[in-house]
Structure 1
């Protein structure tokens, strides 16, 4: 079953909220796999509102062995794309699945699944969008008890919304 998670709480009375990137490396979204399941990535992407005029902007999707300290997601923030499906088994908590890191931690091992470098934005009114969908035979698998992160490194802070779609695999 596919699940989708964003770097913010599930919207109810307001739209999906963008989060500031800051001016240093920052985990924008983190997904923690449980000890019983892996996740297989289907797609991911982001939008940057009014991209910074200085760059480059770097955004990466990677697996790490150490968690960042994040704002914890709640179960409703990890949305099953099947309305009749079950809740995700990903681990929730401030050192598990969440968004907007306050402490990055110090990973000792990582695997990079995608990376984008974006040049400076010449128009402060433009939105920068990126989305990638893997072919079925190339979909990365995040191991049990690991952390999938979307990290951003910007010279000038910008507002960003990012998301990941994944399947849970036994």
Structure 2
């Protein structure tokens, strides 16, 4: 069976009647998007854009935090988009405020991370695709996050394309 690909954004996207709303980074470390897989996943692509050009550097990172989660706004099942097979089965990621979602209100007590990708960003947008068969993997029940830190809050829209 072929692997299936999905896309999630740091916004509710199930019933959009307008463009997704960008979310503020705040001025301390903040999880902008979080995924808790129930099976191993591979990150195919990630990226972000800011509503304006940053006036202070934005530290953007794609990390895993083991089993330590942030408290987030949970994705609805319709927010997890089928990327290449619109009639296939739904994603197997866990949904919930301590599982998969966006815009953290509490970071949790992170004791270790695995940095998969990162940038000190001054530009308004960025995306990165990983070469085939060289995608970072995330083990079942590990937490994948896009986190941002900056001295001047800015609105950001970010996404992850992953494969199960």
TM-score range, shorter chain: over 0.9
Shift of 1:56: 1.9
Provide the residue aligned with 1:125 in structure 2: none
Between Structure 1 and Structure 2, how many residues are aligned? Answer: 158
Question: Quick check: 1:147 aligned with 2:115?
Answer: no
Provide the residue aligned with 2:62 in structure 1: 61
Shift of 1:137: 2.5
| Structure 1 unaligned blocks of 5 or more | 122-127
Provide the residue aligned with 1:45 in structure 2: 47
**Residue 25 (structure 2) aligned to one of 1, 5, 21:** 21
Shift of 1:23: 0.7
Q: Partner of 2:97: helix, strand, or coil?
A: coil
Question: Quick check: 1:162 aligned with 2:158?
Answer: yes
Separation in 1, partners of 2:125, 2:54: 13
Normalised to the residue count of structure 2, the TM-score between the two structures is: 0.93
Normalised to the residue count of structure 1, the TM-score between the two structures is: 0.90
Separation in 2, partners of 1:12, 1:137: 33
Question: Quick check: 1:90 aligned with 2:87?
Answer: no
| Residues 35-90 of structure 1 deviation map (CA, whole Å, 9 limit, x = unaligned) | xx11101000000111332x221000011120000001111111111111110010
Shift of 1:109: 2.2
Provide the residue aligned with 1:124 in structure 2: none
